[in-house]
Structure 1
């Protein structure tokens, strides 16, 4: 199971549990509705934060992969140029 699904499932479970806890708690309807709205906003903010952390992590990994690919490309070009120069020097002395 992917980490994103686990986080989403956990957040949904927490939200449902919080809402049910508030619904069954003895309080006025207006107070209960306010508590539900506040909890919903808290969960939404927490989910946004986790999503942003996840997106930042992915962006960092993509950046690292790009840097690695650029280094490999530069190393490959240097190797190619070196072999090409060796081949050119060797062909000068062939008859």
Structure 2
């Protein structure tokens, strides 16, 4: 995602700079050159806005996907721990029953 956004911004900036320089060095009347600069600036602004929208959507989708994945992982971990806890409780209950049985042997009636 970071490399894509850097590439997109580099392409847009290069396009804007190249178009501006091309217009400035083209032989034309000053008013025509100024109008072309304005038009190119607006076109560059539109492209940047489109790129920003695309980047935002990409970030939102990535974050949403990562959140879902994290939620699933947390749920899986909690479930695993619950099963392990149940196993430990069962083992402790069996050990306690065994100890109670041994203790009864030592008690006098």
Ranked by relative contact order (alpha carbons within 8 Å, sequence separation 6 or more), the top structure is 2
Aligned residue pairs total 95
Structure 1: which 5+ residue stretches go unaligned? none
Distance 2:61 2:25 in 1: 44
Q: Max radius of gyration: which structure?
A: 2
Which residue is 1:13 aligned to?
14
Distance 1:43 1:83 in 2: 59
1:7-86 matched pairs, under 5 angstroms = 7-86=8-87
- Could you say what the CA RMSD is over the residues aligned between the two structures, in angstroms? 1.9
- TM-score, normalised to structure 2, is 0.74
Q: CA deviation at 1:54?
A: 1.3
- TM-score, normalised to structure 1, is 0.83
Query: Which range moved further: 62-71 or 17-26?
Result: 17-26
